[in-house]
Amino acid sequence: MQWMVLLLVVLSVVAARDKRDIEHTPLHKRNAQNALLDVRDTHVSFSHSEFAYDDSVKVYANTSKITNEEAVEITWENPAASLFDMIAIYTPPSRGVKDYLDFRYVSDTKGWQKHQGVFHEILFNMRADYEIRYLAIDKHQKATVKASFKISVPDNEPMHGHIAVTSRPGEIRVMWGSAKSDKPRVKFSQSPDLQNPMTALATTTTYTADDLCGARANVTDPVMYQDPGFFHTALLTDLKPGVTYYYTYGTNKATSKTASFVGAPYPDAKVAVTKFIGYGDMGVYYPPYNGDSMGAAGVTRNLEQEAAKGLDFILHFGDLSYARGRGYIWDQFMTQMTSVSEQVPYMVGVGNHEYDHVSGGEKDPSGAPDNGFRPQWGNYGNDGGGECGVPTSHRYIAPDNGNGVFWYSFNYGLVHVVMFSSEHDFRPDSRQYLWLEKDLKSVDRNKHPWVVVTSHRPLYTSQEQNGDHIVGLHMKLALEELFYNYQVNLHMAGHLHSYESTCAVVSGDCVKPGTGTVYIVVGTSGHSLEQQAYRPYSWSKYHNCEKFGYQRMTANTTHMHVEFVTAPNQEVLDNITIPVWDESATKREFKRR
């Protein structure tokens, strides 16, 4: 025990991760090597700006009205175009010249020396119209607006649909967003053409910049805070297990396309198989796919295929959009996931990039004291960009048996799932620990032989990330014995952008399968991949930091098959079979070390 304390002290000196995450620009600009550019490296600050329209300069698009995620062709013409002239995009149009959402240099257009060019962009409905402006930039960094073109968006379009299970059988929550709150509702039926539909009225919430804990999230700048509109939630009840339901969401004036889902099994039902997927650390891709086979694009494409074949639910345990205070990233992520999350319950937890904050703790919706969990040995910072879980807790409604989206549990078929937060105090006697112990103790293993626990940060990792290694050691000290006592079969985490699996392990020792917990890190769903090496621990059985992918679980009454599936090729690189917990095995004496 003494050597562990000493190790924690030594390693705490180098606790911070020496890695910079790319923060995509709104238009996902790339350099000559096709690498994404960081928004922090692309901002241009003008010394002065003015409007001076010139009939010889033109900028226009192939449409003056778009819906969400629409391809737009932008054309510019200027007989006096210069190298640093820009096509800038604004939303809403009332923004000042310096407050653009994003821009392109006209010189990025092929053949721009001929004084004209074309850009192809994807624009999202961010609940405000767009304006495209041609900015002439002189040698003194003065920007002059020479021409402009406006594009309108529908003000009542329902977007970002997703569903979630609740803590009660026969229920599903349907959630979505829109610019207005005008009697939102869901219509649903067992008929594909929605004959004689039932109606569920929705409740509505929203947040403003004042509700967020700090910068950047509460800074009213177009690449940071963006009015999120309204979030609607309708509760569908009395659903029959195994029955396909068809539904639309929106208002009487604007309705979504028809989606469908399958009713979850009741707790007492005899279930043959429960199939689900888990991952962390996704982020956004820039649609359309355009052959992009890497990262979030490839994983999302695979998830669409998995959902079409039949899937019970998806677990995304933190680092969802990587918005970190930038509203446009939330819009892109929620749009990206709609094709999957409309038909499969999409259950999320918080990671450091949704939650960690250093100010404004009185606004924290999780109820954490002060500015959250900030132990001296931890590498907790401001990774949430001031969001402190506010955008996440409005967009996603979790089962009501815990603490909102921050920690909760649910049953589905043969599996009991616990989402707990590594961003909140998890130490013994903490609010979360006491809840977790009570929850694990209450599981009926006859109905739910499998207990799966997730958190954003891992307990076990052999990757050379000193700060995360320290946090993992403290998580093991606090939680591993609890997992052993209540026979947790599988723990999954992300945070490290890599894949790693362990043997069945108890207190650092490999044990007989079915007598210890298997720990898996799967932070490979799209944002980036780690480059760090691995330490030679005997419990580490397989690791990979070269492939994007996700974890696929198939559980029956006796075994759970766990596979690491790559994206987009769907190779299975790691295949584990976990037997149900062996009740007859001699209980080990748990050793803290």
The enclosing domain of 55 has a CATH number of: 2.60.40.10
Residue with tokens 């600050």: 45
What is the full DSSP assignment across 317-382? ES--S--TT-HHHHHHHHHHHHHHHTTS-EEEE--HHHH--SS-GGG-TT--STTS---TT----S
* 130 confidence band (pLDDT: 50, 70, 90): very high
**Cis status of the peptide bond prior to 458, with omega within 30 of 0:** no
User: Do 235 and 344 reside in the same domain of the chain?
Assistant: yes
Q: Which amino acid, one-letter code, is at 482?
A: L
CB 263 within 8 A of CB 242: yes
Is there a domain that residue 4 lies in?
no
Among 135, 151, 167, residue at a domain's last position: 151
- Mean pLDDT within 494-511: 96
Is there a domain that residue 585 lies in?
no
Q: What proportion of the chain, given as a percentage, has pLDDT over 70?
A: 94
Is there a domain that residue 590 lies in?
no
User: Do 133 and 213 reside in the same domain of the chain?
Assistant: no
Backbone CA torsion sign across 401, 418, 352, 222: negative
Is there a domain that residue 163 lies in?
yes
Strands (E), 165-299: 172-178, 185-189, 198-205, 230-236, 244-250, 259-262, 274-279
Identify the residue with better confidence: 586 or 202.
Answer: 202
Which domain does 311 fall in, by range? Answer: 159-284+303-579
User: Do 370 and 472 reside in the same domain of the chain?
Assistant: yes
User: Do 229 and 109 reside in the same domain of the chain?
Assistant: no
User: Do 124 and 195 reside in the same domain of the chain?
Assistant: no
- Mean pLDDT within 233-252: 96
User: Do 174 and 322 reside in the same domain of the chain?
Assistant: yes
- Residue 426: pLDDT above 80? yes
- Mean pLDDT within 565-591: 89
| DSSP character at residue 112 | G
Instruction: Give the pLDDT score at 288.
Output: 54
Q: Within 10 Å of residue 323's Cβ, how many Cβ atoms? A: 28
Is there a domain that residue 291 lies in?
no
* 33 confidence band (pLDDT: 50, 70, 90): confident
Mean pLDDT computed over every residue of the chain: 92
Is there a domain that residue 120 lies in?
yes
Q: Could you tell me which of 584, 587, 565 has the C-alpha nearest to residue 576?
A: 565
- Mean pLDDT within 16-33: 69
- Residue 239: pLDDT above 80? yes
User: Do 137 and 168 reside in the same domain of the chain?
Assistant: no
Residue 23 to residues 45, 241, 523: CA-CA distances in angstroms? 18, 42, 17
Show the 3-state SS of 256-274.
CCCEEEECCCCCCCCCCCE
pTM of the predicted model, to two decimals? 0.93
User: Do 196 and 113 reside in the same domain of the chain?
Assistant: no
* 3 confidence band (pLDDT: 50, 70, 90): very low
User: Do 168 and 139 reside in the same domain of the chain?
Assistant: no
Q: Could you tell me which of 385, 534, 553 has the C-alpha nearest to residue 462?
A: 534
C-alpha–C-alpha distance, residues 277 and 282, integer Å: 13
* 246 confidence band (pLDDT: 50, 70, 90): very high
User: Do 243 and 262 reside in the same domain of the chain?
Assistant: yes
* 45 confidence band (pLDDT: 50, 70, 90): confident
* 447 confidence band (pLDDT: 50, 70, 90): very high
User: Do 202 and 132 reside in the same domain of the chain?
Assistant: no
- Mean pLDDT within 1-29: 52
User: Do 474 and 572 reside in the same domain of the chain?
Assistant: yes
Is there a domain that residue 290 lies in?
no
Identify the residue with better confidence: 21 or 375.
Answer: 375
Is there a domain that residue 296 lies in?
no
Among 119, 151, 183, residue at a domain's last position: 151
Q: What is the pLDDT of residues 72-123, one digit of tens each?
A: 999 999 999 999 999 999 999 999 999 999 999 999 998 899 999 999 999 9
Instruction: Give the pLDDT score at 294.
Output: 66
Q: How many domains does the chain have?
A: 2
List the CATH number of the domain containing 486.
Answer: 3.60.21.10
Among 101, 123, 151, residue at a domain's last position: 151
